[in-house]
Chains A and B, each alone.
Chain A
Amino acid sequence: MRTREGLMPLVVREITRQTPDIVSIRMQNADGSPLPAWQPGAHVDLQLITRHERQYSLCGDPADVASYRVAVRREELSRGGSHYIHAFLREGATVWVRPPRNLFELGEARAYLLLAAGIGVTPILAMARHLASVDAEWRMIVAARTRDGVAFADEIGALGERATVHVSAEEGRLDLSTLLGTIAPGTDVYACGPAAFTDALHALAPTLPEGSGIHLERFVPRAREFSPNEAFTATAARSGVTVDVPPTRSLLESLQGAGVAVSGSCLRGVCGSCAVPVLAGAVEHRDSLTTDDDARVIYPCVSRARSGEALVLDV
């Protein structure tokens, strides 16, 4: 069962239906005092009274220091509490929130192409609002299957001509390959959406012009195949504990089982909350965050030691 250590109790002030399947939730401290600051692309871990916990991108206005806003899509048979949020969460209820972290930061670029599909609009909307406020060179396209499936349509409209909506039921599927073919060198692409959308963009990355990069935020792990799990040992250097990690358990479970304080949230290698520095040993990175195979930070919820290696961790 999950704990509430490190989480802030916030009060749900406003639940707004954005589309038939998406509601937005605005939360505040009970006394309305300021919340930890955040930048576009940041997300929070949100835990419900049922202890279900999931990550949501912040999609409000960072200048509103007293509120966080997230949006949640209804999933018919949901695992992480989306069903609870849609069916049972009420204004005035308490939720528990971990201070924002940002794994999808806006970097410096000559120009920005922001792409969102479905609920993926949440971090992208915050980015567009920021880029508009600093007068950057940017463009945003929000794709949805149907017109009534576009969340925050009025806020997108208020951003002016640089922000457009693409309704695939009316205009056909958004042609990503043509779209990326038209961008000027030095344009960075930021995109968030379902796996099919981010996977398609990931595959197109090599076609980008010189000096352009692509930054993806995923809801679900990148689909990849790994060799079967092997047993290995890991030493938590600061705790002085060595654990045997059997093939059937994750490194995170093994560390937690031995009483080493590492917290996890998504348990699928997408949220980054269990990050642990590695002091020794080669890591097989199985998460969806690491881009460098030799990175010295491990996400122990999914990643393991390479075959025959033992790990030493700074925890």
Chain B
Amino acid sequence: MLSSDFRVLGLEDIRATLGEPEGPSMQKITDRLDENCLRFLAHSPFATLATADAEGRCDSSPRGDYPGFVRALDDRTIVIPDRLGNKIADSMRNIADNGHAALLCFVPGMIETLRINGRAVVTDDPTLLRALEQDHSVPDLAIVVHVEQVYLHCGRALLRGGLWDADMQDLATQVPTSGQIWASTSGWDTAVGDVIDDAMSGAYRALY
């Protein structure tokens, strides 16, 4: 199936269906982190980082660490340590190519999310990296974002999705494990998937 199988709307048609945004939702967009945003960030252990390559092709990746890991250096500048990961570095490559970045930050238990958009650079500044040490490990790189747009996104999506409801966690029991997904996409036996899951649970103990 192709997306062109469907009727494609332009902005005018979309506005005709949705109407215009109401005053207050436009006003809450600012260009800096106020005290409430700083407090939100200080308690956020998880964010998604969206970047795009030189042609505008997008990529979004999860980032998580101790709450406050997305650290505000001032009200227009934030820094994100690059922790141990898969070394594919999609986000880093995109930032080097394009520089626009968008963060969506979560606080467990809170349905509102904080959106921070801006221009990012990747740095290896030693003073900055040392300050980002966690559990004895200094990151090799960090992403610094110059903040251009900040706003608190309303909670309807997380509320509808029941993201923080403990009893929603049974959903995961019906999804294959990462080892099984890996084995299946590689055409391997499910026994290999079990081995991968075992290896992953060991590897997950070294987080830094």
Contact = CB atoms under 8 A, between A and B. Distances in A.
Nearest to A267: B136
B206 A257 contact: yes
A84 interface: yes
The interface residues of chain A, by DSSP majority, are classed as: loop
The interface residues of chain B, by DSSP majority, are classed as: loop
Contacts of B205: 253, 256-257
B128 A77 contact: yes
Contacts of A296: none
B29 interface: no
A124 B47 CA distance: 43
Nearest to B202: A257
Interface residues of B, number: 20
B131 A79 contact: yes
Contact of A249 (B38, B131, B133, B206): B206
Contacts of B164: none
A227 interface: no
B131 A51 contact: no
A226 interface: no
A223 to B, nearest CB: 15
Interface residues of A, number: 20
A268 interface: yes
B136 A78 contact: no
A49 interface: yes
Contacts of B128: 77
Contacts of A267: 135-136
B188 interface: no
A79 B131 CA distance: 6
Given A49-B67, A257-B206, 4 more contacts: A77-B131, A253-B205, A257-B202, A257-B205
30 contacts: A1-B207, A49-B43, A49-B67, A50-B42, A50-B43, A50-B66, A50-B68, A51-B66, A51-B67, A52-B66, A77-B128, A77-B130, A77-B131, A78-B131, A79-B131, A79-B133, A83-B68, A84-B68, A87-B38, A87-B42, A249-B206, A250-B136, A253-B205, A253-B206, A256-B205, A257-B205, A267-B135, A267-B136, A268-B136, A301-B136
